Chains A and B, each alone.
Chain A
């Protein structure tokens, strides 16, 4: 079957939905995201990126790929390599055999990416679906790019064998066997409940709704720091993770709302549609937070971390009430 590229908002859910569709199971990006319970919030002050704490609106990399195995009765095969040579040979072998192969790469070394977005982020997922005979370039489907792209072997080698945090070590993955149409009435409520557990019941105070409050406290403390440039870098980083890094807008809240709409249809439960509407409102509130932050960064509004912290707390309260209701509905 010829491969069909489709544009998605997030790399991992995009790769997995494309891969599943290629293997005959209709699957939207939002469904892949929701079914693997990938929505989250985490404020990780110990993990620093260029000196700034990591803020994530979803579960860690590979969570979607792994999380889809159980509901779909699918076995994914993962291969990593010690040497770039072995990794390249294996990729060629798989492509020659007509496979669609998922890969983990570093955004920095992918030449088709816009210059300003090329940071050292090592967990970017893309698909390889073939190789151009004449040039030897790889034919790639990067879900966050509108069309398919090509990449020279030397660049792809660098991207696959980049080092540092989350080093991909040439990771390749593909399904063994065919994905099955799941029993939606069983898997959907289960996946939704898991998400509510992640957001509400985390034992560590930096994950879930508590993580949002923890972040609010950290933002509030910026007020007393007396270093506006550093404060702006901190709040800018939060917004970058929320909007710029392939989240579909509103820190994945919209994509999850789309999943809830699909779930409502599959389960014939209009209650989930109403919850989806509420989550869209919460996503809009995240976008307002982003807008307020950007205005402060550009000095269009006075820098007031306390005001941003108050917004975050209001969002935390709304998300807490929302996920409690979602738990009841599931």
Chain B
């Protein structure tokens, strides 16, 4: 998820607040004995999250949480790992993207809170999301906050003009892409972005792939699985044929293309309305959302792009209180409503999200059932396991698929899959992980 300017203002406010509390708390040390309030620090970057935390603080005078605003997912992880290495300085609570959890667990940064959570917590979340915080084990390393189920966003007006049906299968998607490009050679239904590894892993998740797995005491890496090959081969074919663009997303050029109608579709996730509203303001009211095109229309599925959870760090001395707070934050109906209103996230919690998400986002006011449809697609997210060196896999994706998209051949896409697999598995082995091939 990409967060923009407002974050800095919020960070300044949070820093001031932090300073104020630091000055006022002089010497209490946060011991829960004798009615003293437990003080928890929380590293997060979701905009306005401190407003949600304020609700908790006013209701729970005995457990006070202070938000310490972070720049984003990557820098926060780097900082946390440094603090863990140093043995002190880590917060009690940490916002962590799903794909970072294995790396954080592997570095001993997160506490296992399986013993602290309430019994029915798992039932609040889709299986795929819950799996991401347990890593498929009995441990629980975080409570899911938001998820990014993927959908297909398209320009309804352009589709109507060209007489195109919304594609429900990938075969149809290719036909629509062909028709769009044939109508105007400068126009594309989408682009294959070598810059967004999370986007590609979401596409492969939909096809049933899981890049990693745990087999007994060993990791397995299946980035070259038939499912990933299928997805890569499909996109390589489209790029080779020239009916899909090969430029990366999130460039000034791509933003302009969304706005001027030379990109008329986007395979994205539930947070797409915010991005479109920022990048393609001129096209308000012309976009619609549909479920992803399917590999097997009889068994609809989707993947995730983005989303994060809240974790308790291994340096926290108040794991029980911290767990109590993150359960409230991510599953209490009032808290989830506040998260939706203040931070604009798509909550992972199923029961609370139905109530919280009644109205469609402003940019999609032409689609009243936006969140109903979103909830249906969110249920169909396939399970997916991230591994401890997903950072290596992602950066290998950037390099290898950049070469492939530039080469514009299907063969290069398939070669890129092999190269990412090799780089990832080599790195795991070099680090000493036990790997089963």
A binds B: no
Give the interface of A toward B (CB within 8 A). Answer: none
**Residue positions of B touching A, CB distance < 8 A:** none
